[in-house]
């Protein structure tokens, strides 16, 4: 049994300052984010600084995460669904992982508004040290999403009105401003299986500004699977309206190199190339997903997709084909099985089926349309079935500032893994809510912080059946 509260220090006061503004950006239908202006992009970048797991070291040297991260309190579980020996050591491992921070039904982004009416009240609450605090909460949130506020504050008292059109007139109206919006994860859930679960492969995320017409794609982030995120440095060519990769932001190691690579390799169109010190070359297409991997001896693994970002098939270095079988369409599309069929290889397999069991979920956020998605309830690998149980929470998210529950806040539904059960034993997890804050400095004529409600693991224990 582990009580994790003592080892997670300062989680409620994490602050990231000095986040830079994007002067321009780009478009991607799949692994990308779209903003109206540079202001929204700046808030989006600051929100990521709080929300994303940024790499602190080399992903090649880091251990595969599997358990509670004592620095952030988030839960990351890794599972190997498939391991195939390949030609010349070019093996294939199909790993999936769960991240409690990513286990949301919707995707948080920044929305531009010509007009926003403010209607807020003060809400008082006490922290564990018995000190009284207060935050601004919009009335609509109090009316429709009390559960999200209660998860964060536990108990609270509604105080006096702060700002509204009835008492303040035009002073309670913000123009040309921003608000948090929760959208479907369908176009953002790269390699996704179900809420919080995805395959452990790298991908490149781009950013686009609607106000910058004609610009090419600007690669902004390298997602190195469960290991974390690294920012990408680019330079802009105003004449050609394109961006060139200069390197990985703040990455002092020399074991990874990311570059532009607009070429065709083995008949596959490539846009970016990631090299590592082992000789492995990972090629990405314009959507930012892996399409080809080659070792120093040109042994290759190829990847194809459905809906741009979800795996359709993998062909390993031996020639075996791993096929991903889905049911449904759009938001109702879900992965059910993965099959392997192909050539014999020493230590490998010729036939295999991996089965996923899911449960459909729906949710309507504070700002946004009805969301549809799935949670993974069980996975059967090599005849062994592991089941998953979740705690459903409503999470406050604010990508555009002025307080955790202000007029700019929205809500998301999250699924916190509380129990894993397999082979007669189970592991349990308990969580507590907190808030994480980041601050954007300068460059846009505005200064607002961004805040998100976070859940961290306080206790992990095992139980035999």
pLDDT for 25 equals: 30
Q: What is the mean pLDDT of residues 148-152?
A: 85
Percent of the chain past pLDDT 90, that is, above it, reads: 60
Residues 207-214 have a mean pLDDT of 83
Question: How far is it between the farthest Cα atoms of the chain?
Answer: 77
Whether residue 77 contacts residue 420, with contact meaning beta carbons closer than 8 Å, is answered with yes
pTM (whole model) above 0.75: yes
Min mean pLDDT across 39-48, 141-150, 315-324 is at: 39-48
Work out the pLDDT band at 217, boundaries 50, 70, 90.
confident
Span 370-394, average pLDDT: 96
Give, for 45, the enclosing helix (H) or strand (E): helix 38-51
Would you say residue 17 has pLDDT above 50? no
Residues in the chain: 465
Residues 236-241 have a mean pLDDT of: 91
pLDDT at 43 over 80: yes
Torsion of CA 290, 295, 301, 305, to 10 degrees: 10
Average pLDDT over residues 421-440: 86
pLDDT at 349: 56
pLDDT band at 63 (very low <50, low <70, confident <90, very high): confident
**Band of residue 2 on the pLDDT scale cut at 50, 70, 90:** very low
Task: Please state the rounded mean pLDDT for residues 152-175.
Answer: 90
pLDDT in tens, 75-95: 999 999 999 999 999 999 999
The pLDDT of residue 1 is above 50: no
Out of 4-8, 103-107, 326-330, 387-391, least confident range? 4-8
Residue 29 has pLDDT above 70, yes or no: no
Closest by alpha carbon to 198, among 284, 292, 104, 108?
Answer: 104
pLDDT band at 439 (very low <50, low <70, confident <90, very high): low
Model confidence at 16, in pLDDT bands (50, 70, 90)?
A: very low
**Tokens 């202006």 belong to residue:** 37
Chain-wide mean pLDDT for the chain? 86
Distance CA 90, CA 282 (A): 13
CA angle, 49 then 51 then 57, to 5°: 60
- Sequence-ordered list of residues with C-beta below 8 angstroms from that of 446, at least 6 positions apart, any chain: 39
**In terms of Cα–Cα distance, which of 452, 435, 445, 442 is closest to 400?**
452
Q: Which of 44-58, 290-304, 429-443 has the lowest mean pLDDT?
A: 429-443
Whole-angstrom distance between the N-terminal and C-terminal Cα of the chain? 16
The tens digit of pLDDT for each residue in 117-145 reads 999 999 998 887 788 888 889 999 998 99
Residues 385-427: tens digit of each pLDDT? 999 999 999 999 988 876 667 888 999 999 999 999 999 899 9
* Most confident by average pLDDT, 58-62, 298-302, 454-458: 298-302
Residue 442 clears pLDDT 50, i.e. is over it: no
- Tokens 């601050």 map to which residue? 439
Write the CA distances from 364 to 16, 108, 152, 153, 413, integer angstroms: 30, 13, 19, 22, 9
pLDDT at 350: 57
Task: Identify the pLDDT of residue 368.
Answer: 85
* pLDDT confidence tier of residue 213, bands split at 50, 70 and 90: confident
Q: What is the pLDDT of residue 18?
A: 28
Q: What is the pLDDT of residue 140?
A: 92
What's the pLDDT score for residue 402? 63
Q: How confident is the model at residue 348 (pLDDT cuts 50, 70, 90)?
A: low
d(CA 459, CA 2): 6
pLDDT in tens, 268-312: 999 999 999 999 999 999 999 999 999 999 999 999 999 999 999
Q: What percent of the chain has pLDDT over 70?
A: 88
Q: CB count, 10 Å around CB of 127?
A: 11
Taking the C-alpha atoms of residue 205 and residue 224, their distance in angstroms, rounded to an integer, is: 11
């Amino acid at each position: 049994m582990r009580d994790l509260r003592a080892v997670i220090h300062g989680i409620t006061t994490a602050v990231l300052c000095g986040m830079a503004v994007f002067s321009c950006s780009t478009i991607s239908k799949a692994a990308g984010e779209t903003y109206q202006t540079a202001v929204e992009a700046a808030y989006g970048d600051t929100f990521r600084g709080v929300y994303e797991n940024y790499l602190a070291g080399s992903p090649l040297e880091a251990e595969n995460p599997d358990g509670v991260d004592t620095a952030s309190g988030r839960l990351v579980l890794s599972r190997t669904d498939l391991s195939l020996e390949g030609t010349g050591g070019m093996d294939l491992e199909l790993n999936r992982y769960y991240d409690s921070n990513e286990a949301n039904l919707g995707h948080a982004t920044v929305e531009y508004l010509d007009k926003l009416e403010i209607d807020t009240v003060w809400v008082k609450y006490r922290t564990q040290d018995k000190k009284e605090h207060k935050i601004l909460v919009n009335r609509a949130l109090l009316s429709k999403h009390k559960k999200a506020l209660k998860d964060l504050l536990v108990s609270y008292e509604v105080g006096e009105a702060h700002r509204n059109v009835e008492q303040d007139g035009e002073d309670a109206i913000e123009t040309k401003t921003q608000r948090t919006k929760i959208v479907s994860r369908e176009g953002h859930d790269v390699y996704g299986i179900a809420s919080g679960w995805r395959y452990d492969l790298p991908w490149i995320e781009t950013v686009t500004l609607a106000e910058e017409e004609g610009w090419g794609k600007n690669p902004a982030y390298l997602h190195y699977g469960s290991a974390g995120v690294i920012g990408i440095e680019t330079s802009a060519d105003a004449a050609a309206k394109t961006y060139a990769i200069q390197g990985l932001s703040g990455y002092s190691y020399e074991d990874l190199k990311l570059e532009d690579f607009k070429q065709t390799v083995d008949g596959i169109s490539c846009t970016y190339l990631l090299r590592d010190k082992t000789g492995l070359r990972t090629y990405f297409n314009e959507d930012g997903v892996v399409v080809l991997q080659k070792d120093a001896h040109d042994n290759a693994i190829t990847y194809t997709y459905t809906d741009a970002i979800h795996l359709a098939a993998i062909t390993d270095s031996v020639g075996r084909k791993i096929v991903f079988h889905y049911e449904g369409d759009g938001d109702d599309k879900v992965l059910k099985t993965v099959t392997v069929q192909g050539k014999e290889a020493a230590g490998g397999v010729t036939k295999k089926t991996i089965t996923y069991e899911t449960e459909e979920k729906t949710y309507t956020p504070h700002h946004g349309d009805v969301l549809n998605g799935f949670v993974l309830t069980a996975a059967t690998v090599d005849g062994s079935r592991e089941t998953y149980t979740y705690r459903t929470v409503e999470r406050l998210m604010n990508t555009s500032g002025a307080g955790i529950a202000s007029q700019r806040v929205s809500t998301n539904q999250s699924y916190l893994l509380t129990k894993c059960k397999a082979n007669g034993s189970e592991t349990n997890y308990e969580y507590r809510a907190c808030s994480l804050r980041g601050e954007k400095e300068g460059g846009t004529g505005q200064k607002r912080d961004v805040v998100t409600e976070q859940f961290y693991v306080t206790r992990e224990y095992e139980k035999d059946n």
